[in-house]
Amino acid sequence: MSRPLKLILAAVLFAGAGILSELLMDTAFTKTFLGNAPAVLPFAILAVILCVRPTLLMPVVAILLCLVWAGAFWVAVALDNRTPHLNMYAAGLIGGLGVAVSTAMGCRKLIRARPLLLLAAAGAIAAVPFQFPLFGSDWMNMAGAFAIWQAVVGTLLYAMSDR
């Protein structure tokens, strides 16, 4: 399979994981971590399958990705009242950087300045749809935002870790 086709397939899979993430959330605007914790699983599972070797590290990286999501979620909620237009950018940046650092355990290519900075920046930029709704319904907005963020960050992660 050609590299462009692999990247398109990865983008579609990560976007699907983003939609599944929204389906697994308790509600789109729940302010509790435990109610939304299952939402990270589709991205974490897909990221470790596509990007982590050896397979023995997959569970460890998946757990780290869940912790990164928890931290980014906490930042988004904690900053919501203080800086409502920056909270999702900060969460996206932390999420992108955390995804890079966590996945680097099973993909040493990611432990360099360029991949870390690119994934952090991609995470922050891909968080734009969380602040600016594109659709009429709240569910569609959140599903679209998750699909975009996970597709952008996941595909970039895959592209940089591709063997």
Q: How many residues does the chain have?
A: 163
- State the burial class of residue 54 (Cβ atoms within 10 Å of its Cβ: 0-12, 13-18, 19+): exposed
What is the spatial distance between Cα 142 and Cα 109, in angstroms, rounded to a whole number?
32
CA torsion sign for 95, 144, 40, 54 is negative
Residue 81: per-residue pLDDT = 75
pLDDT grade for 94, boundaries at 50, 70 and 90: very high
- Given a cut of 90, whether residue 140 has pLDDT beyond it is no
pLDDT of residue 31: 54
Select the more confidently predicted residue: 127 or 162.
127
Tell me what pLDDT residue 19 has.
93
Give the per-residue pLDDT at 77: 81
Segment 14-33, tens digit of pLDDT: 999 999 998 888 554 555 66
Query: Higher pLDDT residue, 141 or 14?
Result: 14
For the chain, what are the domain ranges? 3-161
Half-sphere exposure of 40 (CA within 13 A, CB side): 22
Q: What is the pLDDT of residues 31-81, one digit of tens each?
A: 566 666 788 899 999 999 999 999 999 999 999 999 999 889 888 888 877
In this prediction, residues 73-96 reach a mean pLDDT of 86
Confidence (pTM): 0.90
What is the model's pLDDT at position 34? 64
Q: Which residue has the tokens 């990560």?
A: 14
Q: Using one digit for the tens of pLDDT, what is the confidence trace for 95-116?
A: 999 999 999 999 989 999 999 9
Question: Which distant-in-sequence residues (6+ apart) come within 8 Å of 21 by Cβ?
Answer: 39, 40, 41, 42, 43, 146, 150
The Cα 15–Cα 154 span in angstroms is 9
